[in-house]
Each structure stands twice: as structure tokens, then as C-alpha cells.
Amino acid sequence: MPINYLKHIQLGRFNETDYRINPANGVDTVIEGYYVFSKDPDNDTHLIFNDGFPVIVFLPNEDDSITVTTENDRFEIKSAWVSAGAIKNVYVKYNNNTSQVFIIRFFPAAFYQLFGLESQYFRNRPILSFQEIAGNNNFSIKTFFTYHTIGQKIEYVETYIQNSLAKIEAAETLNKTLNYIHKTKGLGTVRKLSNDVGVNYKWLERSFVKNIGLLPKEYLQLQRFMHAYLGLTGNQEVNLMDTALSNGYYDYNHFLKDFKAYTGKTPLAYLKLYL
């Protein structure tokens, strides 16, 4: 999702126009949360990032669109997009006078089961039109957009999920591991993670690849970068070395390499353009 929205989620900063809605009981094993965000009227272009939770981002109207720019491609998506996996150097530009977006944030294993996808589905295409998977799974985007209130849209989504729950299996040990990673902000090694959570190293690797589509090392890297980004953009005084070291990077060069991979820019160049 746009990293500026993800920043609000990570920090728990909500208000009357940017807010979270809890999923209903039973659905809360599939959906982490529903989010409504108002778009910055002064900025139509946003960096896309994924912290491990797949998301569907719905635009206000079915005919609204975004332009996606990757390192090697440029294309348009209408109505809604879905993103998952490790997203690097991808930006979206809103093509309409978009006032707000509606986002559904999923637990990873449940998301892939719900839509009958292999976990590697997004490996080479981390952002794509939701239509590509909705049509094969009896989710009608056209019907979704006949509802005008957020409550009605959520009711449609939850009915869809409840009708599909029979094929979704809980991944309790994996979810416990993910919770630990989020709590520790991705700090530490995979070996330390397996010891702290009490799971076999090989099981951990296989489980992540099967259910999330990422290696544990990659997932930890996403969390480290996200929290480094929060630290960098949350302070008026920019101290790149302190930001790197306090978020688990060995030195500034490792942080710089990650930052350029995820944003396509150096930290100072990114801050100048987008903050």
C-alpha cells in the first residue's frame, strides 16, 4: 500500500478522516483490519511498500485509475489493486480527483488460501489489478462498487469471506512467529528468531515460503526497513547513521543499499521529493 498510509497504521495514528475498522468475529482470522485514508491533495504520487500483510486497495469509483511505475515498466490499473510480497522501487500516481481510498489488510497465509493462490504469485509482480484474481474467485468488483458506504462494502466483503471460510486453515504457529517479528521490529537473525519462538529453523523457512512467499530473512528485512523509515521520516533532524544502527543495520552503507532498493532513491533525495 502507499507507505504514507502504512506509516499511520504502524504508528496507530488515526483521526476522523484516516481510520481503522475492526473485522467481525470469525473474519478476524483472515483480515487484519479495514482502513480508510484521505488522499493528500498536494501529492498524487506515492511510494508503495508492503510490510508482509497483503492488501487490496479500492479507489472511490469503479472507473478511477492509477498509473504504476516500476523500475522497468509503466501501466494503468482501474478500480482496485492488490499488492503483496517484497515491493521495491514502485510508485503509483492517482489519475483522478481521488478523495479517499478503502484498504483491506489481510493476514498473509489466509489471503493466499482465500483466493486460491500460490504464495509465489506476487514474486515477480508485487502489484497488479485486483480484477486479475477477483474474477477467478467469484468476487464481483462491479457489485462491490454498487455499494456507496464503507459499512455496506465491508458487509459485502465479509459475506464473501464467510462463504469461503471452509477452505481456510489457521496457521497458529506461523501467526505466533509473525507477531514476535512485529513486536521485535525485525531485529535479530533468522537463527535467533527460530530459537526465541521455539521452532525448527528448516520448518520456519519452509513455512514462510509456503504461506507468505518470502524467506524469513526477507520478511525480517521488510520490518527493519519499515521501522527505519518511520524513524527517518518522524524526526525533523535527519541522522542517517543513528537511524541505521538503531534499526538493526550493521552500518550506514547497509541501510543506504536497502533504502535505494525499496525507493529507488537515496534517503536525502527521497526526503526532498516526498516529505
Taking residues 254-261, what's their average pLDDT?
95
Taking residues 142-157, what's their average pLDDT?
96
d(CA 181, CA 199): 13
128: three-class secondary structure by DSSP: strand
Give me the torsion for CA of 182, 258, 109, 100, rounded to 10°: 90
Fold of the domain built from segment(s) 172-274: Arc Repressor Mutant, subunit A (1.10.10)
d(CA 271, CA 237): 12
207 within 8 A of 108, measured Cβ to Cβ: no
Taking residues 27-36, what's their average pLDDT?
95
Kindly report, residue by residue over 180-226, the tens digit of the pLDDT. 999 999 998 999 999 999 989 999 999 999 989 999 999 999 999 99
pTM (two decimals): 0.94
Q: Where are the domains of the chain?
A: 3-167, 172-274
64 within 8 A of 130, measured Cβ to Cβ: no
In the chain, count H helices and then E strands.
12, 10
DSSP class of residue 164 equals: T
Residue 63 CB coordination number (10 Å): 10
Kindly state the cell numbers that stand for 15.
Answer: 483521526
The model's confidence at residue 47, banded by pLDDT at 50, 70 and 90, is very high
d(CA 174, CA 179): 9
d(CA 245, CA 251): 6
37 within 8 A of 8, measured Cβ to Cβ: yes
Residue 42 has pLDDT above 70, yes or no: yes
50 within 8 A of 87, measured Cβ to Cβ: yes
105: three-class secondary structure by DSSP: strand
Kindly report, residue by residue over 90-126, the tens digit of the pLDDT. 999 999 888 899 999 999 989 999 999 999 999 889 9
114: three-class secondary structure by DSSP: helix
222 within 8 A of 48, measured Cβ to Cβ: no
Kindly report, residue by residue over 7-28, the tens digit of the pLDDT. 999 999 999 999 999 999 989 9
Give me the residue label for grid cell 482470522: 29
Residue 174 CB coordination number (10 Å): 21
Kindly state the cell numbers that stand for 86.
Answer: 517484497
Please give the CATH architecture assigned to the domain spanning 3-167. Answer: Sandwich (2.60)
Average pLDDT of the chain, as a whole number: 92
Residue type, 219: Y
244 within 8 A of 258, measured Cβ to Cβ: no
